[in-house]
Every structure is written in structure tokens, then in C-alpha cells.
Structure 1
Amino acid sequence: MTRLRLRPLISAMLLGSIVLTPPATAQLGLGKLPAQDTAPAMVSPASPRAAVQEFLRHANGGDWEGAASFLAVPPSQRDRAEALARRLKTVIDQRLALDVSTLSPLVSGDTLDGDLNGDRIADLTNARGREEPLRVVRLNGPPVRWVFSQATVNQVDGWFEALGNPWLRERLPRALMSEGPFNVYWWQWIGLAVSIPLLVLIAWVLGAVLRNLLGRVAKRTVTDWDDVLLENLRGPFRLWAAALAGTPLFALLELNPRADAFMGASTRGLALIALFWGLLRLIRIAQSRLQNAAWETGQGAQARTLVPLLGNLLRVTLAVIALLVALAQFGYPVGTLLAGLGIGGIAVALAAQKTVEHLFGSVSLAADKAFRVGDWVRAGTTEGEVQRIGLRSTSFRTIDRTVVRVPNGRLADERIETFGERDRILLRTDVDLTYGTTPEQIQAIRASLEAALRSHEKIWPDTVRVNVAAFTDSAIRLNIVSWFQTTDFNEFLRIRHDMLLQFMRIIRDEGASFAFPSRTVYHVTQPGQPAPPVDG
């Protein structure tokens, strides 16, 4: 039975909303900025920028009388000055993504637009569908100051009536039509709260329908990869469906430009997350398929080494691409960022020198196929079984069952001895016989030892050597060298055990014995000298 998974969807929505939103100043609340200049240039208190900032400061503080002082109110509407200021503030919040820093900081205003006595801030649509400019004009005073023009004030009522949702405005309680946080009406906040579970439901229904349809098609195919693909892409598709349904759903709420831009960024963020989530799932499926195919063709050990490393590289590459796409999608200057990385490349290279060294070390180890997962390796002072080859380090399981992690950059420079690539294993040992052993016995022992070695089913017949190697202080030394055709070290241990016991039997049957470290002392006395005393 298909279950509704809320946590991944909600988490992804929060991630898309918070991380992938453009870095605008207070994306949802420019209308509530304090009356301070954020631009580096000097701002004249008698400039268009300062006038709009003061108007917003008074309006945000609820001082409608002070806000109305920045309106050129006609004499016939003096008694409605505060109401007009309130309505103008609502129009700015609901219809303009106003960036105050773009207004002129000069007393003369913007003199390049051809209007020497006024500055156009934006164009707004009135109740009759006509575009009218929102302007501020200069009053020469004294003192010189800027106010919203009389023509703009005359259009405020029309703009206010054209805000949309007239049916709701006529029927909803006044409390729901008042502005809440981020200049969003309370009824719109309620709509947003309802939209989230509705999006989850839509995504679940679309996912279930599409899964049912595609599942029927997949059952008719002879392969199972499409079934696996369908199962793993269920989550990314639901998230994509939620993002797709979110755009028209949020459009019904007729949010103000800041809130609408925020929700648009959120839905695009969800779509991007769904896309790259699906690509990550595809990489995992391909990795699993490659490993299974390698096992079937007898290349399982190599697959355990190369496929995870390739998968990690693809994931890192995908993460970098996803980051760049997200930055470009939401207005970040990717070109400037890349140029900055080029300028600061030396500092970045110095800071990440070891990380880059280990990364290229892992690539060189994989390219050279120095060892594979499961091999027994001696690298420098480290010896153990290769457990994992990562992008930064390689993990070894030592004979003490501890795990040692060696950075790949250092490992690539070490002398690496791989026992897993042996085609046979060497048996080399010395047998010490006493000096009482006759040459005939030594010859018979040598022949019997060589015959015992050659009779073993695992012996490498090309090289079997049994020879007198040296006369030591206390023994006649026989050197034995042979190879056994096995790559399993545990099997070799059993073979060596059996052969050494057979060597003991041969030496015993030939009437000889093993020598052990000893020393013989000869004491010679001169004629006429008394013999040395004997204890006991």
C-alpha cells in the first residue's frame, strides 16, 4: 500500500524556500525598512530617496499624519490625507518590489530622465486598467524637499481599488483583510497554510496515478530495470509535482510582488531539488547495476573498487553543478563568482592543497589499479585488507582487526605490495641437521623431501629446490624453496602445515635428527698436569 511521506516533501520545501531564495534585502519586507540609507553614496536629506524612506518610516510606525506630510494632497482631500497615505502604503507593499536604494540620493533628483521637477518611481495600473506613473516632485521650499506628486495622490484610490480580489474585499471581515507579517494579508496567510497540505495531497495523488499507469507498462517488459527506476523515482516525482502545482495555486492568492517572488523562488527551488534528487537516484541505480553485472562476469572485486569511486565522483560533480544552477537560477552572479574564484585561485589552491592532493591520489590509485577492495596490501608501515577506497583516504582492516585510514595522496607515493595479485605462494624454509648425519643420509633426505614436494597436487613443478645451503656453528643446513599454486593464504597455511609435518617424518625415518644451537668444548691437558677436578 502506498504511503504518504510528508517529511521528505516538507523538508525539501523548507530547503528550497530558505536556501535557494535570492539574496535580496528582506525579500518579503522592503516596505518595512528603517529610515536609514544602505547605499555607500552620501544621501541628501532633501533627495527623492530620503523622502521615500521617511514616508515608509512614518507609515511602518503607524504615524499616518507624518506619512501624509510627504503627499501633495489637493485641498479638496485634506481631510483624507491620512487615509490616502495608508492606501498608498498598501499599494506600494502589494504591487511594488520597491528597492529604495535605486532612487536618486541627490537634491536635484534624477536629471537624466528629462523630468527636471520630478522622478518616476514606477508605473501602476489603475481601476480602469490604465498605466499611471508613481512620481515624486521637488518643492523648492524653503526648505527644499520631495513629496509624492498631486497626480500620484489623485490616482491612489484607483490603484487601491485595482489591488484585486474585489469579491473577497467585499465579503471578508476587516480583520482578515488587514496586513500581517511581510505585508501579506491575513486571509492570504490562511491560504498559504492551506496550500501546503493541499500540495502534498496533489503530489501524492499524481504520484499514485502515474505509478499505477507506468507500473502496468513496466510489468509487460522482460527487464526489471524499469521497475527499479519507477520505485526509486517516486519521491523526486512527487516533489516535482508539488512544485508544478504550486505555481498556479499560489497565483490564486494574488500575493504582493515580494511574497510572490519568494514563493516563485521556492517552487523553482523544489523543481531543482526534485531534478537533482532524481539524478542522484539514477546514479545509485546505475552503480548497483554495474556492480551486479561485474559480479556476474567475474569482475566483482574490481567493481567494488572502481564503481563506488566513480559514483562518488559523479555525486560531487552533480552537487557542484546543482549549486551553480541554483545560484544562476535565483539571481546570484555566477560569472562574478567564478571570476572571483579565478582571482583567488592561488589562495584557494594553497588552502585546499592537501584535499586536492588526496583527490588526485584516489584517481591515480584507481587508474593504476594498484589494489582492489578485499586485497591484502602492505603500504609503507601499514598492512591489512582493503576495506574502502574513498575520495580522500583508503581504509585498511589490520590483522588486529583495527581500521587504519591512510590519505590517498600519501598512499600514492608509498611502496605498495599487493598480496592479492599473487598467482602462487612461496614456501621457503631451512632444515638444520646434526653434524652426526652422514652424507648418504643427507642425500636420501634431500631426495625424499623433493619427492614429497613434487607429489603434492598444488605444487608448482617448474621450481622445486632442496640443497645444502651452509655449515653453521651447530648444524648442516638444508634450504627448501618451492611454490604452491594457490592465491588463498588460508589454504597455503594448511599446505605448509602438512608439508612441515611430512618433513619431520622423513628425517625421522632416515635415522637423522634436527640440530639445535649447541657448543662443544674440548679440554686438553699437558703430560704431568693433574686432571681438572670434576664436580659431584
Structure 2
Amino acid sequence: MSVPMPLIFILMRFFKKSPVLRLFLIGALLSPALFPVTAQAQLNAIKSESSADTAAAEPDWPADTLGRRTPRYAVQGFIEAIADEDYAKAALYLNLNRKQRKQGEQLAHTLQRLLDHGGKINPYSLINDSYSGNMDDNLGPDLERVGSVSANGETFDLYLEKTTDKAGGPIWLFSSQTVQRIPTEIAQTEPPLADKVMPAVLVKNKWGGVPIGHWIAMLLMALLSYALAWGLIHALQFVLFISWRRAKEEPIAGIIKAFTLPLQLYGALWLFFQFSQRAGISIIVRQKFSVITVIAGLLVFLLLLWRLIDVLGRFLERRMIRYQHQAGLSAVLFLRRGAKLAVIIFGVIGVLSTLGFDVTTGLAALGVGGLALALGAQKTVENFVGSVTLIADQPIRVGDFCKVGDTVGTVETIGMRSTRIRTNDRTVVTIPNGDFSSQRIENYAHRDRIWFHPTFGVRCDTSPDQLRYLLVELRAILYAHPKIDPESARVRLVGIGDSSFNLEVFSYVLTSDFNEFLEVQEDLLLRMMDVVEASGSGLAFPSQTIYLGRDAGKSKEKTQAAEQKVKEWRQAHDLPLPKFSPERIQSLRNTIPYPAENGNS
């Protein structure tokens, strides 16, 4: 006995027979912006393919009175004929040669007995219902496998083959090869197990061509199958929790719990299939229940997806809350709702298709409507993709101080459509995420240190030795200050302006807090201004400014003192230009008290 066809195969078969459904899914789920064609061209493509499929499906021959134009309805017609015990009609579904036509009724009855005693036929919804049959089953264009039976200890497959009638239309019949393997007589077998255990009154009285007891047995076997599957799965779960320590931890415990009920139901379906086949339940009853079995299998698969979506969603939701990631939390909630909606839509389509409803026409209309909706919601989709990019790449987070385009401020919220930034003017700027993700983003919150780079312009009448004094003393301040990175510290004479000698200061302050940087910068600027004053020079005034005042000139005493200091450095061969020696830098490190006592910088 074989296991029922896997659910994955059910889904593949379902999609293969509906090209319009594939177009709908592609058009509805993907934004038209991803394709280099116009919307009108896509609409025309869908309409033309739909009309082509319709034209190809329209027959040029009259309808067959027995419904044998497609494999599905050929099998269904045969089952209905034997349910009515009309074996003459059932024989018309067999491809018989001249010698076999006299035994047609007997062969049809024998095939029924083989199917009742352990044989099986695929559920109707899994049998192809097109005139040409399934072209992808590697059986050729005129053959279709629909089940299997056992006769005289040998198991063989049941095939349909396509023939043609006088009008040239297709007629699907049980193949001549299959008919040849049906024995004219089979050994007398014991009654089925179901007939043995049931009262005689339930065996003699029939409903729908089948003993009433078979219908009752199917219901009892369904209950028994579920009870056994429940016990087996819970026993397995108990053993798993005892033997595996991590089975009680999240998210593993949630995943195990999500699988419990679907495995329970799928196990019940498998046991139900096995019991009904081994108990000798009539193929007529089993085929009636096959539709329910396929729908139940599809719903079990969708239930598993639903529960896994819940488990994964709750796990990610807790992580987002733990890290206070509001944008990520919004994305998780949105995607979870979208995934559940997709499961519901897929389930409805699958159930309707299994029940025999033609969903291709409605799906074609929905595909065009979905494409039009995608065009109208293009900006919304763009903003959603932008928000996903922001969440995945995380160039900014809530609370970061950043610059986006011309906007500078603190990020307050990152939503699914837009991001809000609180500016220094205390206004709120809302930027759509589609635009936000495409702009240049400068995030100040990720700085590990802050750049200190003032330029001092000193008077043009400053002597070279005074400049040397300034270069030495300003560098000494940088090297001595505990909040300055000594590797980056430098002071250079970078140019001669119209009214000044320009001294560029370059260093990094060892802090990422902007308020602390302002304190250190203030301290450094005051100390450097003291050095400029001690040199006997001064800060230059811009040449465009007319300065009316009596110039006291340079201080002779301070000028002489600065020049004397440089002279002493020269005599001692200790003038630290063009650079300080590593020993001198090390001797200066952290000699400036900071913060200074009593506020004296």
C-alpha cells in the first residue's frame, strides 16, 4: 500500500493546469515598476493569452454523451456507472477489441472487484480534466495514469488512453493494455473485513450502490484514525520534550507546537486512507470521500503555514520590542498580516478548484484588476520597499541625530510609509520612505570621535619666530590635552592671506557626545587664545573691515620674550619644528588638567 500523493504534488498540479492563475499571481504580487514594459502592454498580454487559451479549449466536435472527453470525467463516469450497477454502460469506458466486447460487462465488474479489494484511483481533483491530458507526466500525449490494482498477486497501474470518435474528438478510455491485464475470472476471495464485522442487514441494504455499512465504516474509521494519530503525535512530543532539553526553549517549543496539530491531522488522513483500502471499502465510497480527503490535506498544509507564520511573527515581534525597534515591529506586523491574507486567498482558490469550480475566468479578471491596483499603488509599494530597505540596512535608528538631504534633526519614528525627523527648530519633517532611502544620509550618532579644526588668522606683522612660537605652543596644547587624540593632532601654517597668516588646527576630540565636545572645544579655544596673546601677536582683522582705532602696536616685552624663547630652543637644539619628537609628545601627554579647577582654562 502506498502513501497518498504528497500535498506539494497537489499544489504543483493545481498551478500547472491554470496559466491564467500564474499570470494573476505575478501581476498582483509584483510591482509593474520591476518590469520594463508599460501597463497597457501587460494588460494586453493577459487578455491575449486568456483569449488564446479559451480559443484552444473550444472544441470543434459535439459533446460525448458519456462524458469521456477528458480523463477526469471518464473515470468519474465509470465510477457512476458501476454505482448504478449498469455494467453495460461501464464497459463503454473500456477500450475493448472485438473479442473482448462480449466480455465487456464481466471485465467492468471484475475491475470493480479489483478496485474494491485493495485497488485505488486517484482523487478526481488530481486527474487531468483537459482534452489533451497531462503533457508533463512522461507518459506520452495519449496516456494518463489514474490508479493501480492487484490481481493474482501482481500489482499493475491503471491507464487511460486517448482515442478519437467519428467526429475527430478525443475519447478517453481505460487502455487496451490495462484491459488485457484484467483477468476474466479471479479467485474466490473472502468477503472484505468491513462486511465481516458488520451486521448482515447493513451489508444487504445498499445506498448509492454500496452497502450502508461501508458509509458507516468510513465515519468510524475517520474517528479511529484521528484518535490513533492524536496518541502517536502526543507520545512523540512527550518523548521529544524529555530527551531534548532545548525542546522547551523558544522558538523551538513554538515550532514544535505549530507542527503538532497539522501532523496529527495529516497522520489521521494517512491512517484513514490505509484503513479504508485494507478494510475492503467499496471504491465508490472511497472516491466520494476522496474530495474531502484532498481538501482536508490542503487545509492541513495551509494550517501548518498559518501556525508557522504566527510562531515566526511572535518571535520576531518579541525581538523588536526587546531592542525597541519600532520600525522593525511595524514591518513584522504588516508582513504577518499579509502572509495570513495570502494563505486565506490561496486556500479559497484551492478549495474551489478541488470542488470543480472553474476559477480561471475569475482569476483572469482579478489578475487585470490586481495589475491596475498595483499601478495605482506604485508609490505605496515604493514606500514599503523603502521601509524594508531602512529596516534591513539600518542606516539610521530612532533617536539618531542625522542629516537627510537638507534636513537635520533627530529621528523620532520610522513607519511603514514615512519617517519623521524632529529638527533643531522643534518642527517635524515627514519624509516618505521611498524618497528617504534614495537620499544621502549622514548619521552623526555613529561618530566615534568629533573633528576639531579651527583656523587662526594672526596679524601680518607677526614675525617668523612668533609664528614658530605659536606653532610649538598650540601643538603642545593638543598633545597635552587628555581629550585629544595625539595621533591626529597637528598645527600647520597653511597659507598667507590678504590680512593674516593662517594657522590650521587639526585634531579629533575623544568623545561621541556633542555636548561634551562643545565643552572641550571651548576649553581648547580659550587656551589657544591665551597662547596667541602670550606670543605678542594677535588675531587679524579681515581686510574688508575698516578698523578705526588707535593701534597700540606690538608689545615689545612680549615680543622679546617670545623671540628669546625661540632663541633658547635653537641654542639647546630643542626647537620642535617641523614636528615634535615622540619623547616630547609622551612627556606632554595629559599634563593639562581637564576639567580645570575653578573654571580656569
Q: Is TM-score (shorter-chain normalized) higher than 0.5?
A: no
For the aligned pair, the TM-score class normalised by the smaller chain equals: 0.3 to 0.5
TM-score under structure 2 length normalisation: 0.38
TM-score under structure 1 length normalisation: 0.42
